[in-house]
Amino acid sequence: MAIPERRTKRILWRNKMQREQNQSTQLPCQARPTISLANRFSALKHRLQGKPNVRPIGAYPSSIIDSQGCEFGYEMFYHVPYAYHLAKIGCLQRTVSCLGTECFYFFSPDHHERYDRRQFVKYMDSIAQQPHESPDANRWEPPNFAVHYRNKIELNFPKPLLLVFNKYNIEWDHPPINFLSKPFLDRVVQKASDRFSIVYLRPTSHIVHDHMPVGNLNEKEQLREQGVVLAEELYENYRHISFNEFQLCLLANSQHRISVQGGAAYMNALFPGQLMLLHRYGGEQLHGNYVDFPRMGVTDFTVHNNEFDMLDRLDYFKCSARNAA
């Protein structure tokens, strides 16, 4: 039976509108930002200001991501996810950062390790970001480090892996504040060593130092005697990769982690699993940065202001390990 002409026109019109609608919804995903005249003038202005690595493209602050040697946590929180997003849309030109950071930018077409020391940066030009601001979700996408680094090296631990990240350095021109104490570490070993293989990380010589002097907690000898694996000693078996890449491999193979406020906390947040964090002082709670941690990849995240609460939480880690075994 022939279809009436009016109905045929209506069907053709509806199909045309549907095609146009599909094209309009797909365009933003397919469109690649281009360098406009305004972008060129902005790049020239930044070059004259001594910032040659700021090269805007479309609505993006820059196609070159330069960390400026900023603090490690800010780089993990801001620069790496922004650079990865640019790489996914085919707009990342180059990444510039500190020594030993190539592993964080495995997706970069051209990575330069320019800085040998970290510092506090008030404004991060290539991402148009100030510290503690919430990152723009439209141009922020953390890479899947867990998948990329899970099988990079062979790790043979008899039990589920518990990583303990610590630090002991001057903070805000004051003596150490955010650190895990020796009595706390002793209690962690007593409570968890029967269920976990514990690896302890308080790096000193294998990382790029920042502007805050590093102290000595004098805890490692006792931990070694208690059967805890010290990360720097384990690393001697994997010297063919950088220490930062070694840390990423450990994180990719661990579902249970303890850390402290600072750069290691941000790195931990890029991996799924349970993360328990000690925060005595710092801007993260004041500015709400920890709210963004689940967006980074961690699946079970708690913040504690004292070590007593953390020891109680450790029992939940034990239950989780038993269920996973």
Residue extents of the structural domains in the chain: 41-136, 148-324
Among the listed residues 242, 320, 253, 257, the one whose alpha carbon sits nearest the alpha carbon of residue 293: 257
Where are the alpha helices (H) located in the chain, listed in sequence order?
Answer: 5-30, 37-48, 72-74, 80-88, 145-149, 182-192, 220-225, 231-234, 243-252, 263-269, 283-287, 293-296, 307-324
- Token pair listed for 203: 């790096």
- The whole-number pLDDT of residue 170 equals 79
Q: How confident is the model at residue 28 (pLDDT cuts 50, 70, 90)?
A: very low
Residue 63 has phi, psi (to 5 degrees) of: -90, -10
pTM score, two decimals? 0.85
Distance separating alpha carbons of residues 67 and 84, to the nearest angstrom: 14
- The whole-number pLDDT of residue 214 equals 76
Among the listed residues 192, 204, 194, 205, the one whose alpha carbon sits nearest the alpha carbon of residue 163: 192
* 41 touches 108 (CB < 8 A): no
Q: Which of 164-173, 189-198, 249-258, 303-312 has the lowest mean pLDDT?
A: 164-173
- Dump pLDDT digits (tens) for 167-202: 998 787 788 899 999 999 999 999 999 999 999 999
Residue 187 has phi, psi (to 5 degrees) of: -70, -35
Q: Report the run of H or E that residue 20 belongs to, with start and end.
A: helix 5-30
Distance separating alpha carbons of residues 162 and 254, to the nearest angstrom: 7
Distance separating alpha carbons of residues 265 and 167, to the nearest angstrom: 11
- % the chain with pLDDT above 90: 70
* 84 touches 107 (CB < 8 A): yes
Q: Which of 6-15, 91-100, 219-228, 314-323 has the lowest mean pLDDT?
A: 6-15
Q: How confident is the model at residue 21 (pLDDT cuts 50, 70, 90)?
A: very low
Rg (C-alpha) for the chain, rounded Å, is 24
End-to-end CA distance of the chain: 67
46: amino acid identity, one letter: H
CATH number of the structural domain 148-324:
3.40.50
Q: How confident is the model at residue 210 (pLDDT cuts 50, 70, 90)?
A: low
- The whole-number pLDDT of residue 206 equals 64
Cα angle 265, 111, 208 (rounded to 5 degrees) comes to: 45
pLDDT tops 90 at residue 20 = no
The 8 Å CB, 24+ separation contacts for 210-213 are 210/71, 210/72, 210/117, 210/118, 210/119, 211/117, 211/118, 211/119, 211/120, 212/169, 212/170, 212/171, 213/169, 213/170
- Token pair listed for 158: 């008899």
Q: How confident is the model at residue 15 (pLDDT cuts 50, 70, 90)?
A: low
Distance separating alpha carbons of residues 276 and 101, to the nearest angstrom: 25
Q: Report the run of H or E that residue 1 belongs to, with start and end.
A: none
Say how far residue 271 (Cα) sits from the centre of its chain. 8
- What mean pLDDT comes out for the span 256-267? 96
